[in-house]
C-alpha cells in the first residue's frame, strides 16, 4: 500500500491524498491502519486533528481534516448544507445512455455489512441520495465519468451506478466479480474538493491526480 501524501497544510486544515486500501478512520474491533490515527501521530505535536469527512477504504483521493475545533465546526457545516464541492472520477462498465444527468435514489444502510443498498422511495430508514454526472470518455464497453456529489452517503456513487446498470469496474460488492478488467479494487477516485476556508473565508480547491492503477486501466481500454 502506498503512503498517504499531504497536499496542503496550514494552522486550520490539512488536506491529504489517500491511497487505496487505507481506512480514513478506525472501525470497531479492527487494528487496521487508518489515516486519522497516522495523522495524529505525525501532527500531534502541533495540535489536534479532527475528521471532517471520509471516503471508502479502497477509494483514493482528497480527504480533508481540521486542526482546530472552530475550523472543524465550520467545515462540517459546509458538508451538511452541501456547499462543499466533492468531485470524483469513476470508470464504469458500459456507457450511460445519457451523456450527463442526475441520479436520485433512496439508500438504506445495512449496518452488519457496512454498505448502503437502494430501496424504494418512502421505505423505512431510506435516505435520499443525489449525484450529478458527466461522461468524460467512452471506450465501447466502459466509460470514464465525472461525478459531483450533492449528498454524501456511504458507498453512494458505487450503489447508484450499479443500480442503473453501470457498476464501477473492480467493485466486488456492487458489481461483477467476474469482470474486474485487471483492477484489484473499485476504480473510484475523489479527485477534487472545494470548500470555503474557515478563517480566510475564501474558496479553496484541492485536487489529486488519477492514481496509477486507474491510469493503467484507461490505457488498456484505449489500446484494445
How do the domains of the chain map onto residue ranges?
5-222
- Burial code of 157-190, b = ≥16 C-beta within 10 A, e = fewer? bbbbbbbbebbbbbbebbbeeeebeebebbbbbb
Average pLDDT for the chain: 93
Which of the following is catalytic: 56, 81, 141, 179? 56
What is the model's pLDDT at position 100? 97
Residue with cell 445512455: 97
The Cα–Cα gap between 189 and 177 comes to: 20
For this structure, is 17 an active site residue? no
With contact defined as beta carbons under 8 Å apart, do 60 and 18 qualify?
Answer: yes
Angle at 133 between CA 66 and CA 180, to 5 degrees: 90
What is the model's pLDDT at position 128? 93
> Which of the four pLDDT bands, split at 50, 70 and 90, describes residue 2?
confident
What is the model's pLDDT at position 223? 87
> Which of the four pLDDT bands, split at 50, 70 and 90, describes residue 219?
very high
Over residues 77-92, the pLDDT tens digits come to 999 999 999 999 999 9
For 169-189, what is the mean pLDDT?
A: 86
Report whether pLDDT(211) > 90: yes
CATH 3.40.50.300 fits 5-222, yes or no: no
pTM as predicted? 0.93
Report whether pLDDT(1) > 80: no
Where would I find the H helices in the chain? 35-43, 69-80, 156-163, 212-222
The Cα–Cα gap between 126 and 210 comes to: 32
Report whether pLDDT(194) > 80: yes
Query: Which of 57, 148, 133, 49 has the alpha carbon at shortest distance from 96?
Result: 133
> Which of the four pLDDT bands, split at 50, 70 and 90, describes residue 178?
low
What is the model's pLDDT at position 54? 95
Over residues 62-82, the pLDDT tens digits come to 999 999 999 999 999 999 999
Pairing mode of beta strands 60-66, 142-149: unpaired
CB atoms within 10 A of CB 90: 25
Over residues 91-150, the pLDDT tens digits come to 999 999 999 999 999 999 887 667 788 888 877 888 999 999 999 999 999 999 999 999
The Cα–Cα gap between 87 and 92 comes to: 16
Amino acid at each position: 500500500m502506498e503512503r498517504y501524501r499531504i497536499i496542503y497544510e496550514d494552522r486550520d486544515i490539512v488536506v491529504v491524498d489517500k491511497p487505496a486500501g487505507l481506512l480514513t478512520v478506525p472501525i470497531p474491533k479492527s487494528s487496521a491502519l487508518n489515516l486519522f490515527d497516522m495523522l495524529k501521530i505525525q501532527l500531534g505535536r502541533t495540535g489536534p486533528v479532527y475528521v471532517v469527512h471520509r471516503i471508502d477504504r479502497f477509494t483514493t483521493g482528497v480527504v480533508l481534516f481540521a486542526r482546530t475545533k472552530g475550523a472543524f465546526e465550520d467545515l462540517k457545516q459546509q458538508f451538511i448544507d452541501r456547499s462543499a464541492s466533492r468531485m470524483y472520477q469513476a470508470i464504469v462498465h458500459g456507457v450511460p445512455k445519457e451523456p450527463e444527468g442526475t441520479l436520485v435514489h433512496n439508500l438504506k444502510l445495512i449496518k452488519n455489512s457496512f454498505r448502503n443498498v437502494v430501496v424504494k422511495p418512502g421505505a423505512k430508514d431510506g435516505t435520499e441520495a443525489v449525484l450529478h454526472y458527466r461522461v468524460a470518455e467512452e471506450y465501447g464497453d466502459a466509460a470514464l465519468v465525472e461525478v459531483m456529489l450533492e449528498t454524501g452517503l456511504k458507498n453512494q456513487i458505487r450503489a447508484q451506478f450499479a443500480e442503473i446498470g453501470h457498476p464501477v469496474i473492480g467493485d466486488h460488492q456492487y458489481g461483477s466479480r467476474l469482470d474486474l478488467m485487471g483492477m484489484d479494487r473499485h476504480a473510484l477516485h475523489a479527485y477534487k474538493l472545494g470548500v470555503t476556508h474557515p478563517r480566510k473565508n475564501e474558496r479553496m480547491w484541492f485536487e489529486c491526480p488519477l492514481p496509477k492503477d486507474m491510469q493503467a486501466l484507461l490505457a488498456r481500454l484505449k489500446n484494445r
